[in-house]
Structure 1
Amino acid sequence: MAVLISPALTDAAEAWLAHARALRGASEKTINAYRTDVLGFLAFMAEHHGGQQGLAPLARVGVSDMRAWMAHERGRGVSARSLARALSAVKGFYRWIAEREGFEPTAVLSTRSPKFQKKLPRPLAVDAAQAMIDRVELQAREGWVAARDVAVVTLLYGCGLRISEALGLTGAAVPLPEVVRIVGKGGKERVVPVIAPARDAVDAYARLCPHPLEPHLPLFRGVRGGALNPRAIQKVMEQARLQLGLPATATPHALRHSFATHLLGAGGDLRSIQELLGHASLSTTQAYTAVDTARLMEVYDKAHPRA
């Protein structure tokens, strides 16, 4: 299908991706997803109109063309969520190319995104999160591996880190200070406070680790000394959740949800939690805490005086 796209369109798409990478700090994973979505759209339009497409025909894409593309995507099994993501990428490209080429992109930008049920996060209860940390320690045969797993899990729950962020720490981070600078998605930096239990857990691991924790090497190591694979933490949490009778949603990322939800429940400010999590949008943070917000609204409804 890609052969249907003219060189001019391909170049325009790559120029937009470079713009998105530079201006928005999008990660390579995001850039690759944008590329797939936009080139797929352009290829469909080229085939839909019976031949190679240059830049000029982009301005003539109408409502019926957009409907045809969306019907084609759904027909080949693309989910509503994935189609909504693809449409968002196409709209981003069209805003950029329309401004550059001087045409009105109303038909594309006015296309409604398909509705889909957003999956609410499933944070662990406070006692379940603590039980998870305690149980994780019992999974490994070697003491230093157990200490490592506890340190990682404690960072996820105690600091709200993504697993990639925790495993991205180097030996230079030891001993952990009271605040650490984390480089998150898209290269965005944020400062995160480190609670005492997390500092203690990392110190305990550092004392027991048989591999030299050199400043330029990963802090968390696999059994053979290489960088720790995220799958190792996922697996140890799977074992622990089965023993505790917790649902399959009790994953490393659920601990990050739990961090946000428990902070909100303790009176934390949503904006501050947004900064701690490194979310670009407040709506993303609200999604993280939606379960707890629902609980708070239930309490409010019961307590509110009725006429």
Structure 2
Amino acid sequence: MGQGGEDPFSDVRHEFGAQHTAEKLRVVEEYLPLYTTALKNQPFQLHYVDAFAGAGICNIRDGETRVEIEGSASIAMRCEPPFHKMVFIEKERKHIDRLRAMLDAAGRRNYELKQGDANEYLPDVMRQLGRDRAIVFIDPYGMQLAWSTLESVARSKVADVWYLFPLSAFYRQAARDASGIDEDKKRALTRMMGTDEWERDFYAPKRQAGLFDDAPGYEREAGPMQMLEWVTRRLERIFPYVAEPKVLYAHRSSGAQGAPLFALYFMISNDKPNAIALAKKFAHHSLKRA
């Protein structure tokens, strides 16, 4: 805090999102204390890892106005019982500085801040966990998360994962007409999903309208929900358990449901039946209550 109680970071906000942002954060807020309460007496430490941590505060659109709500990092900071250690990864220096100020003001010393790309830092963080346990929250900016990074989380065998999949970015990049996908878009889609099988699975030759038409090319036959089912099957290849995702929609001012924007996934890397059963119970409760 500055002189007179002023917040020197008052202008550092994440200005993004709307009702779907609040929805995902309510789910995480429900889940974290269930997790730390159930495992607080176990012979291992509990970690919270936020791969795209932001500034700790979100400024979201609510109808015609904007409102300020806590971000995932702030929610994790005040979780009770607390985590033994919290790791926040964020590219923006101003966001890192604000997170540090918030943590210090709250008297928290059990944290580590990493400024940089989550695809570089997250695999190392997972390797360092050893036999400890972790909640990993992954809310990427667009399609920035690489599949190989997700694989590193799955290999850890010690993480419960909340992953906000960028569904609208996925189906927009995978354009209806295949001619609209340039090489950069192809690489981005393949990097995010770890395979180029989406080309074969989503696209089919166009039906030729007439005898003298040009070569028909290819078009995407899979709609957003079919694409999401494909994503789920991909995730099930690397995680022992993947819950049915909670689809978050755009909400029009009239209250009508709009286009699907994101899919909030819960995944478990631990393949032990008892661990899966407990995590499933907490996740289903959190998704129902939020």
Q: Whose helix proportion is higher, 1 or 2?
A: 1
Same fold (TM over 0.5): no
Tell me the TM-score range normalised by the shorter chain. under 0.3
TM-score of the pair, normalised by structure 2: 0.25
Q: Rg larger in 1 or in 2?
A: 1
Q: TM-score, normalised by structure 1?
A: 0.24
Structure with greater strand percent: 2
